[in-house]
Structure 1
Amino acid sequence: MYPPSEGESAEDDRTNDLELADISDADGVIELVIVVDSSTIIEIKKRVPADQQWDVYDQMLTLVRQGRLAFPSQVKRELAAERHPDMPGPWCARAYRERQHADPIDETLAEILPFIEQVVDANADPDREPADPYVAAMAWELIGRGYDVAVATDDVVDRLPLKISLRSACEGLGIAVWTCDTFVEWVRSTAAESELDDEEIGA
């Protein structure tokens, strides 16, 4: 699988209107995988009422176990470095142990380098490894393995000349991008669908 060449349109079937509930085929095989960025994991605390956050993070953990939700290890390290002692940090540490998809390999990062090299802030601390390039690379690898993929990120504003947003990098690769509201809607609708399936099985 090759990234779009320079000047070539990246538009294809991986659009931003992926069906939220279309996560598996008739045989239960996972078709849609969401790769989530640190920014969206944190943004949930702002967008979801406090009394509902635990349920959303718990549903996300189930999706990680099912292989429907993924993130690279750099997301965990980024959240740890930001010192989020409440839900984002502990959730990510626990979910990391339940991941079903491996970190992207170096060859993938090299393959898509023209699209991701500018997502790193030119003034960033050189001792801190940013997660954004690895989020895009993980999504790219999963697409290469035949999954429908969207990246959930709230890094959507370019800050040129310092950096481009993760959204811009993903769009250059033709990868669908969801912000927090769409991601949370997917988490909730998927959880509701799973509960309905369990009820039908138990009936």
Structure 2
Amino acid sequence: MLTLKNTPGSPWFYLCVYSSKLTGDLLVGMKRYGIGDSKVERYNSAWQLTQTIQHDSIGQALYKYPYYITENNNGDVVVSDSYNHSHGAVVVTSNDGIYRFSYTGYTSESKLSPGGVCTDEFSHILVCDSSSMNVHMINENGQFLSAWYSRSTDMIWPFSLSYDHEHHLLWVGSRIPIIAAYRYNRSLLCG
């Protein structure tokens, strides 16, 4: 069991957890309320802390609310980070914890309100956007590829994602009681 060692007055809270298929490590997104700190910690299979990802190279905080986390095929740590209820970013760091990029939407005017995040077999990053009610797809370097929404299944407000690498299915959960599976093919990739 993983237990937080909190100091009085500034306890850390777990927000998300991900078990790495690549390394077997556990990635944990955490928030300390009142002080406003957030971080991602990596634990090995022996439950030992091996890495803390919290700041960029100039000491700026990387995360506000790291709600969803995954790892890409190249080892990048991908975090769906909410600044507030109306916008946020997908924050990507290398497996060494070095900041790579943030994706905030496909136009400079758009405000991404990120939810669930996952990656596919091509190292694309998929993220639910509550603002546009779409699933955005970006490449491993943060370039926007497409936005996708399925009206055929009454999918409203996509909120969580999971990619099944074995069966090539994208599972999409909604804030309404619907979970849909989509066969991952060229038509889905092209929007």
Q: TM-score range by the shorter chain?
A: under 0.3
Q: Which has the higher strand share?
A: 2
More helix by share: 1
Higher relative contact order (CA 8 A, sep 6+): 1
When the two structures are superposed, what TM-score results if normalisation uses the length of structure 1? Answer: 0.23
